[in-house]
Structures are given as C-alpha cells and as structure tokens.
Amino acid sequence: MESRLQDLRSEKNVKARIKYMNGHFVTSNAHVNTYIDMSTVKCRHNNARETAKTLAAPYESIPVSTIVCLSDTSVIGTFMAEELSDNLQDSFSREINISVVSPEFNQMGQIMFRDNNRRLVEGQQVLLLTDMLVTGSIINKAIDAVLYYGGNVCGICAVFSNVSKVAGMEVVNIFGARDIPNYAAYNPHDCPLCKAGQKIDAMVNGFGYSKL
C-alpha cells in the first residue's frame, strides 16, 4: 500500500507536508475514501517544528497555558509551546511555561486526566491539538473533558480538518478537504463504498493504519 502514497505540500509552509492515498478506510467514527498519513509531521523533528510554527501563528494574540495533544501529536505540541512562549515576540503567551499534555481514554471512551495532571488543565487556557478532524467528535470529547476538569478551551487546531468549526469555535488547520482531490467522509451506516461492494483496505487511527 505504501507505493500508493502521494505527497501533499502546503502553500503555507512547504515543510509541513503529509501523504495520502485513495481507497476505502474505516476510522472510529466514519468511513473515508482517503487515508492521510501524518508520519512526516509527527515523527521528523524538522517537519514537526515547521508544522508547529504554522499552527501557532494564529494564536499569538491569545494567551495559552496548556496544549492538550491528541492522536500522538505531542512532538508538534512541544514545538508549538516553544514557538508561542519563546519565539513570537508579540505573543500573549511569551514567557509562559506552557504545559504539553496527552490525555488518556477510559473504558467508556471518555477523555480523562490523572490527578497529577489535573493542575495542568484546571483554571488554564487550553489549546486543543490533533492530527486530523473528520467529524469533530474527538474534539467534542476533549472540550467536554477540559470543561469537566475546570479548564477553558481557547483554541482548536489540526494538521488536517474536514470541518471548519467545532462547538462554534473555528478550527485552525494547514490542510483541508479542498486540498485532497475528491476527499469524502461517510456515515458508517450509509457508506456508498460499502454499498458498491468495495472492500475495506485498512482500519485507520491517529497511529496509522492496519491492513485487512
């Protein structure tokens, strides 16, 4: 399958690049006709840093004290914290010791923070970061968790997003569905690929894909 991957570079920053391939893929909430590979921006420090710069720029006028990293985005989140607190001269977060935290999921699928990390959320200005948003459901769970633990959500960002808003808040992203030819996401119970008898290529999540 790897031979089917195609490069996609952003006009905002050429080093913020991802890969994609067409097919029939299943996420936890939807069926999609395109798998988006984030390995480059998640794992390679130079690409992660450049991705972080691009995502951080819109938040220089908003104080950020915690970045909650979903779907294995903590490398990007760490570079974002550095960018906001150290490098953006006019950033409202300049010289704040920004926390970077990855939450857990309990058996009910709810997002939780252990007792030792609650202070990183309670009373804090929390920026939510994820690799991709297909339906927005993961961010809704994260918003609920942050509010439950006494934090305030000050922003939402994703490397790729199929939605422009979640819970009334704008999603800052580098790539969108418009950047990938014919990208589409479907309700699992009303998937035209399934109806056409097209076999599922792989199960996908924030860690990658598993072929079937």
Q: Are strands 111-112 and 208-211 parallel, antiparallel or unpaired?
A: unpaired
| Residue 171 near residue 158, CB atoms below 8 Å | yes
pTM for the predicted model, two decimal places: 0.90
Beta bridge partners of 37: 19
Give me the CATH topology for the region 2-211.
Rossmann fold (3.40.50)
Q: What is the structure's pLDDT at 78?
A: 97
Encode the chain (212 residues) as per-residue pLDDT tens digits.
Answer: 566 888 998 888 988 999 999 999 998 888 999 999 999 999 999 999 999 999 999 999 999 999 999 999 999 999 999 999 986 567 788 888 999 999 998 888 889 999 999 999 999 999 999 999 988 889 999 999 999 999 999 999 999 999 999 999 999 999 998 898 889 999 999 999 999 999 999 998 877 888 87
Beta-carbon contacts of 11 under 8 Å, excluding residues fewer than 6 positions away, are none
| Residue 161 near residue 176, CB atoms below 8 Å | yes
